[in-house]
Structure 1
Amino acid sequence: MTIKAVRTGWQVNIQPGGRSGKRVKKTFPTKAEALAWERHIQAKVQETPEWSPPKKDQRKLSDLVDIWYRHHGSGLRAGADTHRRLLAMCAAMGDPRSDLFTADQFAEYRAQRIVEGLTPNNMNREHAYLRAVFNELIRLNHWKKDNPLKKLRAFKIQERELSYLAKAQIARLLDELEKAQNPHVALIAKVCLSTGARWGEAEALRITQARSGVIQFVQTKSSKARGVPITKDLEAALKKHYKAHGGHDNNAESDDERIFATAYSAFRDGLKRSELKLPAGQLTHILRHTFASHFIINGGNILALQKVLGHQSLAMTMRYAHLSPEHLQETRQLNPISALNLG
């Protein structure tokens, strides 16, 4: 009998190629599924006699992550950290066999992580990491099947209003940073406010990156260099600061061309002294939001802002569009109350 009941369901036990062919076994929850699979296999053999069912993939999910890292992830700027996080995810899911891993397993895992206190945003990030692993392995021909996470939707995140500092708040913050013992913190903040740079990009500046009225940011999140014009005063301040504190004053830093040393803690302390209240999760990034917000408020072009910020997608930059003085101005004339001259 080719189909029989077993402890775990209904087992198909057949030799689709005849007595000389390879024996194939597979177990299903129901007899109907077992019968359907048997008919499928027999039809395949009729169409193509040399056909045989695909072999089991004995690799664990963590094995796929290691292959991804060896062939692709090791070349990424944050590849080692992403590799570590992916392996932790595999362990938390019980490191299933790769060909048995399903979207349901990941959905169960992320539901449990949400219960444990992780944010939907963080889970979307983990989802994106693992989906990207399968996509890259498919491209490299190390994974022959579909991406198991292809159809699993990410959590929908409610957009939060982007906070930024008003002019008086900027002045108060810079005043506190100027008083700090750290000689770098105030000027780093001014670079961020003048160019929209991330804190890490500004803090890692080398003197060769600031010349001819432009700062060339090279160690960027997108790994793409971008140039941002700056004033003569800011360029002169950077050169003066480098002569007084650059290179030799970086202590543990070995790069003699570095303009600044680490100043993140000094910024946090200065922000606390200024008594400015920021939304949860924002610290140095408030400077980037402040630059972008004032750029649009003052009439800047949204496409130009995209290039300055280095956003790969315009959708990211459009978060600031509502601050434009011309944004949706038609509502003043085209609403029904205005048309009736009632308001």
Structure 2
Amino acid sequence: MTIKKVTSGWRVDIQPGGQGAKRFRKTLSTKAEALAWEAWVKTQVIQTPAWQPPKKDKRKLSDLVDLWHEHHGQHLKSKNTLPKLKNICTALGNPFADDFNAEQFSAYRARRLEAGISANFINRDHAYLRAVFNELKRLGYWNKENPLSKIRQFKIEEKELAYLTQDQIRQLLACLSDDALRITKICLSTGARWSEAESLKVSQVRDGMIHLSRTKSGKNRSIPIDAALYAELAALKPKTLGGNLFKPAYNQFRHAVEKSNLQLPQGQLSHVLRHTFASHFMMNGGNILVLQRLLGHSTLAMTMRYAHMAPDHLQEAKTLNPLARLTLY
């Protein structure tokens, strides 16, 4: 009953917007006043929707993740993003979407840091969850501000990009053979990732070039190679019915690195070949924009990590500084 007789008068207790909407209560002296106030409130809600606060969003954070996956995430190349997002929801306590805010995520980050999780890993969590809200907003499933939009990611110190010298390259090649040797030579000649080179098919070696497809960036790349390497690859017969040129050879490469006593930073085992290609390309006078296309980087900023390897990089500092141009009288 919306209007009820009480000791102090007539109490109005209504919820014009339905379940979950704002509730209005007021006690008036007479029933007529109570009826009039009830009618006025209902009119305000109908004529001026902004006058009544919106209904509380009862969706959980995990519900938003499921919605994102249904309309966007399932079409992405990476298939392990959904489990990662679900784990983040669990670690956050899976709050209501309306209640989730920057303060909660900041506390989550602090706990992760105390537990020994790297800042870089936490930044990826931040990026994943922020992207969920951004995409849902674009699709019209989230109409509020992204709760993570104003949180800055942790600043990450650049890691050393190790590369091999000419002597180290000779040392490594001497410890390799067969498919492992050919894959290594492809990576050093083109800057291809190990997975891109190892999965090459016969059809991808033609016209003096290696044509890389299904790359990390999703864009195809065609890279010229020297005549000797092209002839060596063109003479190979496929190892599988699908036309693959090589069998998996990563373990052989790992053993060769150990045998040649190369000391590489953690996480840069086969990737050192890509860094070596890029570093030598710049040291030999290569163009940074060409290198971007060869490596398949989506932004020039990623390629600029190798700019300092150019022989003339920042050499103007020698001649354009104020001391060098100072004239003494």
TM-score by length of 1: 0.81
Contact 2:16 2:45 in 1 (8 A): no
Q: For residue 318 of structure 2, what is the aligned residue in structure 1?
A: 332
Give 1:199 deviation, angstroms: 1.0
Instruction: State the SS of the aligned residue for 2:90.
Output: helix
Q: Which amino acid aligns with 2:129?
A: L
Greater Cα offset, 135-144 or 47-56: 47-56
Distance across 1 between alignment mates of 2:214 and 2:322: 51
2:253 is the counterpart of 1:228: no
Q: Which residue of 1 aligns with 2:22?
A: 24
- Match of 1:24, SS? coil
Q: What secondary structure, in the 3-state scheme, does the structure 2 residue paired with 1:312 have?
A: coil
Counterpart of 1:227 in 2: which secondary structure?
strand
Code of the residue aligned with 2:286 in structure 1: it is G
1:292-307 correspondence runs (5 A): 292-307=278-293
CA distance, structure 2, for counterparts of residue 154 and residue 138 of structure 1: 21
- The superposition leaves residues 122-178 of structure 1 with CA deviations (integer Å, 9 ceiling, x where unpaired) of 111111111111111111111121111111110011123322110000111111122
Identity of aligned residues (%): 51
Distance 1:153 1:50, change over 3 A: closer
Distance 1:317 1:131 in 2: 25
1-structure distance, mates of 2:60, 2:194: 39
| 1:71 partner amino acid | H
Q: Write out per-residue CA displacement over residues 90-143 of structure 1, whole angstroms, 9 at most, x where no aligned residue.
A: 111111111211111111112211222221111111111111111111111111
Match status 1:118 vs 2:117: yes
- Note the residue ranges of structure 2 that are not aligned, 5 or more in a row: 1-10, 25-40
- What does the per-residue CA deviation read over 1:209-238, in whole Å, with 9 as the maximum and x for residues that have no partner? 110011111121111111111122212222
Matched, 1:53 2:36: no
Aligned to 1:98, what secondary structure does the other structure show?
coil
2 CA distance for matches of 1:47 and 1:292? 65
SS in 2 for 1:177: coil
Ranges of 4+ aligned residues in structure 1 off by more than 4 Å: 45-48
- Match among 271, 276, 279 for residue 265 of structure 2: 279
Q: Which amino acid aligns with 1:222?
A: S
Please state whether the residue corresponding to 1:127 is helix, strand or coil: helix
For 1:48 and 1:169, how far apart are their aligned partners in 2? Answer: 78
Q: Distance in 1 between matches of 2:324 and 2:140?
A: 62
How has the CA–CA distance of structure 1 residues 95 and 308 changed in structure 2, closer, same or farther, with 3 Å as cutoff? same
RMSD: 2.4
Task: Give the unaligned 5+ runs of structure 1.
Answer: 1-13, 27-41, 249-254
Note if 1:72 corresponds to 2:106.
Answer: no
Question: Residues 25 and 284 (structure 1 numbering): CA distance in 2 closer, same or farther, change over 3 Å?
Answer: farther
Equivalent residues in 2 for 1:303-314, closer than 5 Å: 303-314=289-300
Instruction: Specify the alignment match of 2:244 in structure 1.
Output: 258
- Aligned partner of 1:117: which letter? G
Structure 2 counterparts to residues 93-104 of structure 1, below 5 A: 93-104=92-103
Shift of 1:19: 5.5
Shift in Å at residue 276 of structure 1? 0.6
Counterpart CA distance in 2 for 1:160 and 1:50 is 54
Please report how far the alpha carbon of residue 54 of structure 1 lies from its aligned counterpart in structure 2 after TM superposition: 1.4
Q: Report if aligned partners of 2:22, 2:55 keep a CA contact under 8 Å in 1.
A: no
2:239 is matched with 247
Matched residues, number: 297
Q: Distance in 2 between matches of 1:21 and 1:76?
A: 43
- Alpha carbons of structure 1 residues 20 and 267: separation in structure 2 relative to 1, 3 Å: closer
How far residue 340 of structure 1 moved from its aligned partner, in angstroms, is 5.5
- Structure 1 window deviating more from structure 2 (327-336 vs 101-110): it is 327-336
Matches for 1:114-193 after TM superposition, within 5 Å: 114-178=113-177, 183-193=178-188
CA 1:338–1:63: 2 relative to 1, 3 Å: same
Deviation at 1:48?
A: 4.9
2:247 partner amino acid: A
Matches of 2:218 and 2:270 in 1, distance apart?
20
Tell me, in whole angstroms, the C-alpha distance in 2 between the residues paired with 1:200 and 1:136. Answer: 30
48-57 vs 60-69, which deviates more?
Answer: 48-57
Deviation for aligned residue 1:281? 2.0
Q: CA deviation at 1:339?
A: 3.9
> Are the structure 2 counterparts of residues 190 and 53 from structure 1 closer, same or farther at C-alpha, using a change threshold of 3 Å?
same
Could you tell me how far 1:240 is from its partner in structure 2? 2.5
Change (3 A) 1:290 1:20: closer
Q: Write the distance in 1 (CA, Å) between the matches of 2:283 and 2:126.
A: 35
User: Contact (CA 8 Å) 2:15, 2:23: kept in 1 or not?
Assistant: no
